[in-house]
Structures are given as C-alpha cells and as structure tokens.
Structure 1
Amino acid sequence: MCNALIGRKLGMSTVYSPEGKQIPVTVVELGPCTVAQVKTESTDGYNSLQLSFGQRKEKRINSPVKGHLKKSGLTSTAALREVSVDNPEEFNVGQVITAEMFYVGEKVDVIGKTKGRGFSGVIKRHGFSGGRTTHGSHSVRIPGSIGCSAWPSRVTKGKRMPGAYGNDRQTVRNLEVVDIRPEENLVLLKGAVPGSTSGLVIVRKTKYAK
C-alpha cells in the first residue's frame, strides 16, 4: 500500500460540522499521482515508488528527465518525489494513484517548505522582546551581548542569532482529514500546513496517531 501522495496547497477556508461547529481547514489539491518508477530492494537496495505530480511546460524539462518520464508514458511533470511502500510488487509503472487512498477522519502528516523570510533579526526570527525604547536607548532590536567571560571566551554553539529565517522543510503531524472530494482531487485538512499558496506538499498516513 502507498502511504503518501504529492499535492499542492491551495489556501485556507472554513467548513461547518453537522453540529454547527466552525472548522478551519487547508484545501490541498492531492494527486492524481502517476508511478514514474518502482524501486525494489533487490535492484535498488530499498522499496519505494517515485511519483509524478502535475504538469509543466515541456521546454522547461531537460532531456534526461524527459527520457526518464517516457518509460511511464509521461511527457512532463511538476514534481517527482519518492515515497516508501511495503510491497512494491503491487504497483506498476504508469499506474495512477488518487486521493481516495485516504478516508474522512484519518490522521495524516503534511510535509512542506515554510515561507522564506530572508535574513531576519532576533525579534522576528526568535521572538525576542527587544530592548527599552526610552532614556536614549540605542539597543531596541539588537540581540545584545553574545559572548562569554574569561571562560570559555567564545560564543556557545546554538546561540540564537540573526540569520536566514524560513525556507525549511517542516512536518506537521496528526492533521485530521475533514473532507475528500475525489471528483476535484481535493482534500480538506483541519488546521494549517507549512508553505505558501501553490506550494508543493506531501501528505502521508501518520505513524503517530493520537
């Protein structure tokens, strides 16, 4: 059984439960994904599927990828990702997998890339409160002293400092599948998922269900 699919984050919305409770949801276009390659332990050392999702202009795809896609009958793809499977012999190259592999009420993990915020200071990056703004203070947004005294006379590893913020791979666990609309390839997940609108995400069956 395949345990994950590639999708695209479309944005957030609101739905209501039968009891009238408001539920914030993230709408994800999940699949359909085509099996581009089947990897087995005997040939590759591990079991997995390489899935293709979406379309891209053919002129934006290089020749090696085009040749690789021909084996599965594809001409273009927006993303290629590997997902683990227990028994790869259940799948064939060119097979299409849809969001119907999930069910309403199931818990899933969502993997995405957070929004990149560039070089940020300690207040934005780490939530520092900042210095005072009165009595001629010039230390409002700077981190302040970072070094140690005579020993160990260096900046300790892991010190929270200004730097690149965001653009990191992040996993959100145990999100509930609120609704599945297979005719539109849409899945509604309770809560927020990492990344910006139209960002690629991977939705997988969780191993850490609560």
Structure 2
Amino acid sequence: MPGIIGKKIGMTSLFTPEGKSVAVTLIQAGPCVVTQVKTVEVDGYQAVQLGFGDVKEKKVSLALGGHFKKANASAKSKLVEFRTEDESFKLGDTIGVDLFEEGEFLDVVGTSKGKGFQGVVKRYNFSGVGGQTHGQHNRARHPGSIGACSWPSRVFKGMRMAGRMGNNRVKIQNLRVMRILAEKNLILVSGSVPGAKNSFVVLEK
C-alpha cells in the first residue's frame, strides 16, 4: 500500500538519542478500511480506495451507505484512492500505522489553513512602497506599480497581487518518521504538516 489516511492531532517535541530537541507533528494514522478495490478489467486501472473516520450513517447518502455496507464497514467521513499494483487487498481489510517504520521518510498531503483575502505584504512578503515621507500617508502596504502604460496596456497573467490566500492542497516531502505508537495508531513525524488541527491528511510512502 503506497499510503494511508490520517488526522492531524497537533505538534509537540521529543528528544533524539543525541539529546537534540526535534519538533514533531502527531498524526492519527488509521485504522483505514478498504472500501473498494478497482481493477483493470472493470475500471480501466488498478487502485484501492480507503475509508477513514467514523461518521453517523444518517449523514451519508443512501448510495454511499450501500457502498460502505458492501465492504462490511461503518460509514466513513473521508475516502481516498491509492494507485497500487498489489492485488492482495480485499474489501473490508484494515490497514494501520504498522505500514510505516521508524526512521523512514514519507510525504504528507494536506489542505493548508485558509487566510481569506490578503494583500501583497502578507501574501507575497512585499516590503511595501516605503516610508511615510514625501506625502505618502497611506501607501505603506500597497503593491506599487503593476505594469507599463500604452504598451502592453494590460496586466500580465500571474502578476503577484492581492487575493485569496491559503486553503490549497500542499505536499510536504521527506518527513522522517520519528516514533510510532502502534497501540494508539499514532505516528510522529519531524517538522510541520499543512492544515489545522483535526484536519485530514494523506501519508504517502
């Protein structure tokens, strides 16, 4: 299995055997249930769909409820599909944190925190127009000039301007697995992980 679904719990720190303090993120990784197995003959490609996070059955549609019932699983709040060539997975199989080992590296995919509509100073780290002298009383955090005049007579695509910030799919690569607490389905990875507390993340090998 190339990955698993998890939930970001929060951040803490732990000490390495060398006595160095390392910031780590706690992630509840699984247990995930195989809710669908896709094959080349039926679907045109090979993949395994995992479900994570129990939810009340009345909160899912009838079609989705039947989908979970076919896998003999309770209703799940998060479904993620993983491409894999392994044909050993069956409906209803459970995959836990034992998929990973301490010391190996993994990638974490999550949705970053939404920050709403922001200006160029916060969004792109602009320094602003300058000081408050020479009649500039309200330009400190403005973007300044954004283009020429008669040519090209337009603003080029991709110009860094104010706009919506955050709430994007972000992948953080090569995070080391510092510790695994199998009995609690917890995995501690070095560094920070995108998203707010209790948000869903995907751990990829």
TM-score by length of 2: 0.96
CA contact (8 A) 2:34 2:91 kept: yes
Give ranges in structure 2 of 5+ residues lacking alignment: none
Partners in 2 of 1:132 and 1:106 — Cα distance? 47
1:201 has 2:201 as partner: yes
Alignment match, 1:105 = 103
- Equivalences, count: 203
Give 1:70 deviation, angstroms. 0.6
1:120 has 2:118 as partner: yes
Give 1:58 deviation, angstroms. 2.1
Amino acid of the residue matched to residue 69 of structure 1? F
The more displaced of 120-129 and 148-157 is 148-157
What are the Cα deviations for residues 28-56 of structure 1, in whole angstroms up to 9, with x where unaligned? 00000000000011211111111000111
Alignment match, 2:70 = 71
Alignment match, 2:13 = 14
Amino acid of the residue matched to residue 198 of structure 1? N
CA contact (8 A) 2:9 2:25 kept: yes
Amino acid of the residue matched to residue 72 of structure 1? A
Partners in 2 of 1:152 and 1:133 — Cα distance? 30
The more displaced of 140-149 and 19-28 is 140-149
Alignment match, 1:26 = 25
Give ranges in structure 1 of 5+ residues lacking alignment: 206-210
1:191 has 2:166 as partner: no
Partners in 2 of 1:21 and 1:142 — Cα distance? 43
DSSP 3-state at the match of 1:69: helix
Question: Which contiguous aligned blocks of 4+ residues in structure 1 show a shift greater than 3 angstroms?
Answer: none
Partners in 1 of 2:39 and 2:54 — Cα distance? 27
Q: Percent identity, aligned pairs only?
A: 44
What are the Cα deviations for residues 60-100 of structure 1, in whole angstroms up to 9, with x where unaligned? 1111110111111123112011011112x210000000110
